[in-house]
Amino acid sequence: MKKKVIGISSDFFFIENKVSESFRRLFINEDYTKAIELAGGIPLVIPLSNDKELLKETLSLCDALLLTGGADIDPFLYNEERTKNLGNIKPERDFYEKELYSIAKEMKLPILGICRGMQLINVLEGGTLYQDLGYRECKENNIEHLQKDNKNYPCHYVSIEENSYLFEIFNSKKIAVNSYHHQAVKKLSSKFILTAQSSDGIVEGFENKEEKIMCVQWHPEKMLDDCKMLEIFKFFISRI
């Protein structure tokens, strides 16, 4: 059977060079490509571009789309002004992934959103975010959502809703996950069904089965030593 090609969104950063001007480089964390490869797919990293036709042609080579983690999302996308605890934003990446998401939906491709990818999908469908979890009023606000130690290990639990993709994958109502985010879903878009949350009420997963969209807030690609986390990627590819 021919392997499925999974398009993966990329990011960029600048390298300062003392001899000449700074260089801008595209990058992607290897964990994403490794996860797709181990799950039986072919990872195809999509270069960041504002050329809609180029992105459309690139996605025509893909069977599904994975939107990855990264910098904060511009609050203007959900009609809010920036607050002082907002981190670095990359409007160019916001535009690029907005176009990828729109094109993938038109092509009816399955979509997996991880961390920032999940947050962006929620925003693009009319949801909102906490620009920083410090702004959130919650009596139980002691859970570590931005862990400082090894990202390969879990730091808190999430509860999983039955009749969801995640329950089908893990066959459990509770799993341990890692966590590396300071923003989170505030208002969940009506397009989606909540599938997982932490004990302090943070949205940790949602889905739309009709459109084959599945999203998680944690980073399963960094927990591949846990074979169950690899099942997320296997399941994603199997649904194509």
Per-residue pLDDT reduced to its tens digit, 76-94: 999 999 999 999 999 999 9
Residues in a beta bridge with 208: 213
Q: Which of 62, 97, 99, 115 is catalytic?
A: 115
- Active site includes 181? no
Q: Which amino acid is at 192?
A: F
Tell which residue, 166, 142, 134, has the closest CA to residue 232. 166
Q: What is residue 92's three-state secondary structure? A: helix
CA 158 to CA 229: how far, in whole Å?
A: 13
> Does the reported pTM lie above 0.85?
yes
Instruction: Say how many residues make up the chain.
Output: 240
The residues of the chain scoring below 70 in pLDDT are: 16-22, 138-141
pLDDT at 226: 76
**Which residue in the block uniquely carries the two structure tokens 């392997």?**
3
Q: What is the DSSP letter of 4?
A: P
* Strands, E assignment, the chain: 5-9, 11-15, 23-27, 42-46, 64-67, 111-114, 129-130, 156-160, 174-177, 184-185, 193-198, 203-208, 213-216
Q: Is 145 a catalytic residue?
A: no
Cα radius of gyration (the chain)? 17
H-assigned helices in 29-75: 30-38, 52-59
Q: How many CB atoms lie within 10 A of CB 72?
A: 21
**Measured on CA atoms in the order 194, 195, 201, 203, is the torsion positive or negative?**
negative
Of 99, 204, 207, 221, the active-site residue reads 221
Phi and psi at residue 221, in whole multiples of 5°? -65, -20
Which one of 145, 156, 181, 219 is the catalytic residue?
219
> What pLDDT sits at residue 43?
98
Residue 16 has a pLDDT of 67
* Spatial contact of 72 and 86, defined as CB atoms under 8 Å apart: yes
221 is catalytic: yes
Q: What integer pLDDT is reported at residue 149 of this predicted model?
A: 78
SS3 153: coil
CATH superfamily to which 5-238 belongs:
Class I glutamine amidotransferase (GATase) domain (3.40.50.880)
User: How much is the pLDDT for 138?
Assistant: 64
